[in-house]
Structure 1
Amino acid sequence: MTETIVSRQTGEKCLHVQHKSGLEIYIMEMEGYRSSFALFGTKYGSINTRFRLRGETDYAEVPEGIAHYLEHKLFENEDCDAFAKYARTGANANAYTSFDRTAYLFGCSEHFAESLEILLSFVQEPYFTAENVEKEQGIIAQEIRMNDDEPGWRVFFNMLKAMYHVHPVRIDIAGTVESIRQINADLLYRCYNTFYNLHNMVLSVAGNVKADEVLAICDRLLKPCEDMGLEEVFAEEPDTIVQPYVEAHLQVGAPLFNLGFKLRPMEGKELLRAELMSSILLEAILGPSTKLYTGMLEEGLINSEFDTDSPFTGSGFFC
């Protein structure tokens, strides 16, 4: 299936392709741009710790932090690190894991086709061994400890823990030092084969690109797979919060605070509408041009770092 999506506001066009491999592909040719960008992502993040596939009776439960762990390990294969390959094409590559997604991305001004081949290849070629998995534990444990000492990160997750009783959004995306000790190569392969199925993934490309070239590379490199009928489940989360206030003492130049509002979970178009309405309301009430914002700034109650947002939405949570 192929369709062209046209923006009513700008007239810009985006090609949407449901590839025969199962992958959803979005390609936006942007005339006049010199740079090109690509993102290869899966609908798999830190909250996806309980799941089953079609035909399975019991739900599998995996340790917290395994999605982030998998992201770290996927850059390595038997030949070399993917970053070493990107260095030869000049692409600037990165990756991230959030609550409900993991993405691998790059930007470049030349050698786009070669960089796209690297992206599609290493994400589809996992290589986990007992030795390389164990080696990564110390690195990620250090990252977790650093996050615990970072005031902005700490105040945010303290807020989530005060809001959510059981939903895994309350846990650090990287997991805990204790939870990552349970991760092994077999568990990584189990999660990879479950969530890195092309039916659960998206490729998005934009900039100085040609759709025909992108699709030709996809036809050559994507490995068709069966839709496994993934089903995720979350423990029932009460509407109430855990506690109204929490504080922690760290060495900072000025106090930090987060104020959160817990709403019932939503999905589909209802979720999209709620996200848009929340963004508009926050800008109208507390945006930089409002009297409330300027008044608080003049009184020294906030500084220029003050911000509002509602990006923390997903399966089973909205705040």
Structure 2
Amino acid sequence: MRHIALLDSQAVGANHRREEASGELRLLKASIAALQHEKQKIRRQKMKASHWLDSWRSRRQAGGVNYNGLIGFAEDLPEIQILGKLRHPHLVTLIGVCPEAWSLVYEYLPNGSLLDCLSQRSNFSLNWKIRVRIVAEIASALLFLHSFKPEKIVHGNLKPENILLDSDLSCKIYPELNRTGALTSKSDSYSFGMIILHLLTGRAPETLAAEVRKAVSCGKLDSLLDSSAGEWPNFVLKQLVDLLHSPEERTVPSFFLCPIRQEIMHDPQLAADGFTYEGEALREWFGNGHETSPMTNLKLEHLHLTPNHALRLAIQDWLCKA
């Protein structure tokens, strides 16, 4: 009986190891399939790149002419054509391309980004006069993009990281083209409002949206102002606040509110429980050691987040109509 029990134990162990080996084999097969797919994708990209490079070399040998300061292959890249035509004092200028590195070459702006200045990562601060001028410069650049012919251009990713400063602390927007049609100029207007709040308070507006709305409605916005900008004149504050849209008079749709913070979401992220939360709030929830749903208290299958672009666009559209 002891021998039988020992054999049974060995058989169970062997079966367990066989199952583990089978699982590892399935993983290996899946990995091999994924690698083969990636290899085919890279091969297609390489063939496309080689064809493009051969085409560019042949044009270069034939003495291809420049297009708005860009080398002669620009006609194959319609977005490069558009960027090459954009000339505005407050847009970063595209001055060329580097086909060997698949890179665009823009003018150099020595004072970094607006985010660097507002987060005190630079050696200087922006006083209120410079900040007001930056607001006007951004507005000028957006008006140019939204009035561009034959088709208006939506930046689609306007944020302090994409606003660069030259040696005179004049701002220039790093151009990005949104050609999908999913975004409208209202998206840029909403982002512009967020930048104004950032310039006023020195803090990312996503983290104090409720505070700002309350302060504006109570006439106490000065309590949130960035002291490093100096003393803001009242008439300047009034003009900037008039540019912002305040949705307090309308009932906020419940699904626009983060279930954790009960505030309008600026970065809606879909979690594994099927609910959408403010990205920062949910990351704080996970950072505090939680692996359960804030709504159901059940353990989540995973902690990955998926941007809810549809809800984000709906919220931005609703805010812009306020």
| TM-score for both structures, normalised by structure 2 | 0.26
Larger gyration radius, structure 1 or structure 2 = 2
Higher helix share: 2
| TM-score for both structures, normalised by structure 1 | 0.26
